[in-house]
């Protein structure tokens, strides 16, 4: 995997604008681990290796078990292994990330609104939209994951 373009260098104003949205989410009403869980699931759906690597590392650093991390793609099969807020956030993430297939139905929104305040649901939606944007850069520009860079450096 070779990076195609350095967004920061090619369009610094655009990169700064995205970073401003990222800064907002970093300080929003949601717990950091929940945001990173949403970032990870969005990235898994979109196939963004760079973001999967990054947010997996972040979640492990925050204390999420490796067992739980491995089961994120199949969260819906595991009952209460993920708590109610995690399940609602993951479901809303999938609904918005697969928008062409889901159309973000009322049932998905209503389920999220049951466990999140209006502000939290707005912040969750912003986080999901932001990660979908970042995934387009990661995949489209072939951003190289840290794991790949570390392996190259070691080998």
Q: Tell me the per-residue pLDDT of 12-23, one tens digit each, with 9 for 90 and over.
A: 999 999 999 999
What is the model's pTM?
0.93
- What is the domain count for the chain? 1
* Structural domain containing residue 84: 13-146
153 in a domain, yes or no? no
Tell me: the pLDDT tens digits for 6-60? 889 999 999 999 999 999 999 999 999 999 999 999 999 999 999 999 999 999 9
Name the H helices within the chain: 7-10, 12-26, 32-46, 49-61, 66-70, 84-97, 99-102, 106-115, 118-140, 146-154
Range of lowest pLDDT (49-53, 89-93, 151-155): 151-155
30 in a domain, yes or no? yes
Does the pLDDT of residue 148 top 90, yes or no?
Answer: no
């Amino acid at each position: 995997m070779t990076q195609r373009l350095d967004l920061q260098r090619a369009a610094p104003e655009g990169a700064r604008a995205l970073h401003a949205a990222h800064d907002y989410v970093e300080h929003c009403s949601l717990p950091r681990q929940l945001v990173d869980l949403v970032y990870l699931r969005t990235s898994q759906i979109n196939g963004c290796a760079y973001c999967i690597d990054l947010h997996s590392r972040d979640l492990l650093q925050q204390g999420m078990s490796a067992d739980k991390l491995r089961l994120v793609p199949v969260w819906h099969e595991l009952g209460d292994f993920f708590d109610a807020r995690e399940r609602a956030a993951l479901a809303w993430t999938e609904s918005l990330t697969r928008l062409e297939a889901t159309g973000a139905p009322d049932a998905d929104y209503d389920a999220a609104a049951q466990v999140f305040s209006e502000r939290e649901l707005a912040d969750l939606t912003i986080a999901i939209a932001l990660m979908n944007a970042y995934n387009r850069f990661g995949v489209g520009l072939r951003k190289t994951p840290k794991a790949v860079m570390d392996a190259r450096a070691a080998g």
